[in-house]
Amino acid sequence: MPAASQNPSEPLPSSAVRSTSSALELGPRKKPSATDPLVHHGRHFGRTVHAFCNIRTLINNGILRLGELADQPDESFSAEERREHKIFLALLQSIAGLEERLLTGSEEETGFIAELLRKGASGARGDDTKSLKGAILDWITPKGQALSPPLARNVKIDRGFYHECTGALLCPTNLDWSDPEIKERLKSGEHLVSGDQWPIFLYAGCNFDPEEPWRGLLRNPLLICAFKHVFTSPSSVDKEPKATRSGNARIHGMRSVTAGSIAYIATQVRFALCSSPVFSRTDIVTDSERFFSSILELLEDPREAQEVHDLYVWWNRQVFPSYSSAQRIVTKDSALAKIQEKRRRALAASTSITLVDA
Backbone angles phi, psi at 274, to 5 degrees: -80, 175
pLDDT tier for residue 296 given thresholds of 50, 70 and 90:
very high
Rounded Cα distance, 118 and 128, in Å: 15
Alpha carbon of 96 to those of 57, 85, 93, 325: distances in Å? Answer: 20, 18, 7, 28
Question: What's the mean pLDDT in 231-246?
Answer: 65
Overall pTM surpassing 0.85 (yes/no): no
pLDDT tier for residue 13 given thresholds of 50, 70 and 90:
very low
pLDDT tens sequence across 180-191? 999 999 999 899
Residue 251 near residue 233 (C-beta atoms within 8 A) = no
pLDDT tens sequence across 61-118? 999 999 888 888 888 899 899 999 999 999 999 999 999 999 999 999 999 999 999 9
Query: What does the DSSP assignment read for 157-180?
Result: TT-GGGSHHHHHHHSBTTS-TT-H
Rounded Cα distance, 152 and 154, in Å: 6
Show me where the domains of the chain are located: 33-121, 123-319
